[in-house]
Amino acid sequence: MTEESNTLWHGRFDGGPAAALEKYTYSIGYDERLAADDIAGSRVHVRGLGRVGLLTDPEVDQILAALDTVEAEFASGSFVLLPADEDIHTAVERRCTELAPAAAKMHTGRSRNDQIGTDIRLWLKRELGTIAAQLVDMQQVLFDRAVTAGDAYLPGYTHFQRAQPVPLAHHLLAHAWTFGRDITRILAARDASDVSVLGAGALAGSSLPLDPDTNATELGFSRRFENSLDAVSDRDFIADAVYALTMIGIHLSRIGEEWVLWSSGEMGFVVLDDGYATGSSMMPQKKNPDIAELARGKAGRIIGNLTGLLATLKSLPLTYNRDLQEDKEPLFDSLDQISAGLEAIGGMIATATFNTGAMADAADDPLAGATDLAEYLVRSGVAFRDAHAVVGTLVREALSTGLSLIDLTRDHDQLGPEAAALLQPGRAVHNRITPGGAGLVPLQDQLARFEAHLAANRATVESL
Ligand code: ARG
C-alpha cells in the first residue's frame, strides 16, 4: 500500500490503493512521453484560472515557475517518479505542489478526463506533422530514383507472373503516388485531432467561469469541443491516426516483400547497400534484406494495434471509461514503428544499386510483347478478340515448338517484320503512349506532374 494521502482522491477513501491495483492500472510507464504536452495544457489552464480570479497573480506566477522547473526536469531526465505517480497528470501536479504550494489549486475546474484528451491531441497534432514530413521525404527518395532511372525497364507483373515490361521509373512512382494518399490520410487524422477539449471537465464542463475558447486559441487548436460528453469520450481521432498509420505500414510491407524478392539471387534486380543489409552469424556469404523483411513483419502488429484499439472503443457507453487508457500503447507503438520504418525503408531505397541489366533480361522475353502484338493487329482493323486469338495461337506455337515468337511473327501473314520489331528487347516501353501508362513518353508528363504534387505536399507540410 502506498500512503493514502498520495492519491488524488484520498479524502473519500479509507485506505490507499492495493499494490495489485497500482500494477494493473497505472499508465505512467507509457504516458510519461506526454509530459511536455501535459505541462503546456496546464500552463494554459492556470492562466485561465488567473484571468477569472480563481488564482491570484502571484499564485499564477508561482505555478507557472513550478511548471517550468518540472518541464526542465523531464527534459533533462532528472524528474524523479514516485510510486504513487499514477499517470503523467498526477506526476506533474504532485511535483508542482512540492515546488509551489499554490499548485494545489491548479486542478480547479479540470479533470484528468479533459486533460488526457488535451495532452494526446497536442502530442498527436505534432507527431502526425512529423510523419507527414517523413512521407514527403519518402516521396522525394522515390522521385529522385525515378528521375535517375532514365530508360531502365523491368517486367511488370500480374499474379506475380511477368506481364508487360514497364519503366523502372514508372514502377517507383507507383509507390510514390501511394504515399501521397497516405499524406492525405495523415493530414485528415491530424485535422481530427485539432480540437481543444480543455474545459470539458470530467464530462459536464464546470460551474466555474472557465473559457474553453481562449484555451483553444492559446493551445494552438483551430477549434474547441462543442459537447463536453463527446469531448471526453471521443477517441475517433486516435482511431483515424492509427488507421492512417496502418495503411502506411501496409504500403511499407508491400515494398518490403518486393525488395526481398528483388534482392534475391533468383531475381537479382537490386543490390542493397551494406549499411542497409545484414550478414549471417554463421554463413559468411550471406547478405540479408532484414529491413525489408521487418517492414513485412511489423505490418502484423500494426494491424493488431488498429484492431485492438477498435475493439476497445466498441460498445463503450458515454462518457469517459478507464478502458480509454488503452488507446495510448497501440497509438504510440504504431507511430514509433511507422516513423522508424519510413526512415529505414527510405534509406534502403535511396542507397541501393539497381541491376538494370537483370531487370531488362527478365523483361526482354518476347512473350511479354504479346499484348502489343494484338494491339498492332487492332490498328489494322482486326477485332481485339480475334487479334487475341491470333497472337495466343502464335504464343502456344512458340512454347510448344521452341521457335522464337519474333520469327513466328515475322513469318505470319497478318503480322510481318513491322510487328516483329515490336517484340525487340526494350521496345515495349516505347510502344505505350496513353497518359499515366507505362511508356517512356507519358512518363515524362507523369514525372512533371509528380514533381508538382511533391512540391505542393512539401509546402503543405512546411506550413503546419
Ligand atoms: N491515465 C488516464 C488515461 O489515460 C487518464 C485519465 C484518467 N481519468 C480518470 N478518471 N481515471 O485515460
Residue type, 94: R
For ligand 1, say whether the CB of 260 is within 6 Å of any of its atoms: no
CB 245 within 8 A of CB 334: yes
CB 242 within 8 A of CB 336: no
Atom of ligand 1 nearest to the CA of 87: 1
pTM for the whole structure: 0.95
CB 99 within 8 A of CB 69: yes
Atom of ligand 1 nearest to the CA of 89: 5
Q: State residue 13's pLDDT score.
A: 86
CA-to-CA dists, residue 224 to 41, 205, 391, angstroms: 14, 13, 65
Which cell is 258 given? 518486393
Which cell is 268 given? 537479382
Q: How far apart are CA 176 and CA 136, in angstroms?
A: 9
For ligand 1, say whether the CB of 87 is within 6 Å of any of its atoms: yes
Angle between helix axes 168-193 and 440-462 (nearest 10 degrees) is 20
Which cell is 387 given? 487479334
**Domain limits of the chain?**
3-108, 113-209+226-362
281 tagged catalytic: no
Q: Which CATH superfamily is domain 3-108 in?
A: Fumarase/aspartase (N-terminal domain) (1.10.275.10)
| Per-residue confidence in pLDDT tens, the chain, 464 aa | 444 456 888 888 888 899 999 999 999 999 999 999 999 999 999 999 999 999 999 999 999 999 999 999 999 999 999 999 999 999 999 999 999 999 999 999 999 999 999 999 999 999 999 999 999 999 999 999 999 999 999 999 999 999 999 999 999 999 999 999 999 999 999 999 999 999 999 999 999 999 999 999 999 999 999 999 999 999 999 999 999 999 999 999 999 999 999 999 999 999 999 999 998 888 888 899 999 999 999 999 999 999 999 999 999 999 999 999 999 999 999 999 999 999 999 999 999 999 999 999 999 988 888 999 999 999 999 999 999 999 999 999 999 999 999 999 999 999 999 999 999 999 989 989 999 999 999 999 999 999 999 999 999 999 99
Angle, CA 359 vertex, CA 358 and CA 362 arms, to 5°: 85
Catalytic residue among 5, 78, 159, 400: 159
89 tagged catalytic: no
Q: How far apart are CA 336 and CA 326, in angstroms?
A: 17
Q: How far is the CA of 464 from the centre of ligand 1 (A)?
A: 29
Q: What CATH code is assigned to 113-209+226-362?
A: 1.20.200.10
Q: Where do runs of H (alpha helix) occur along 77-167?
A: 88-99, 112-149
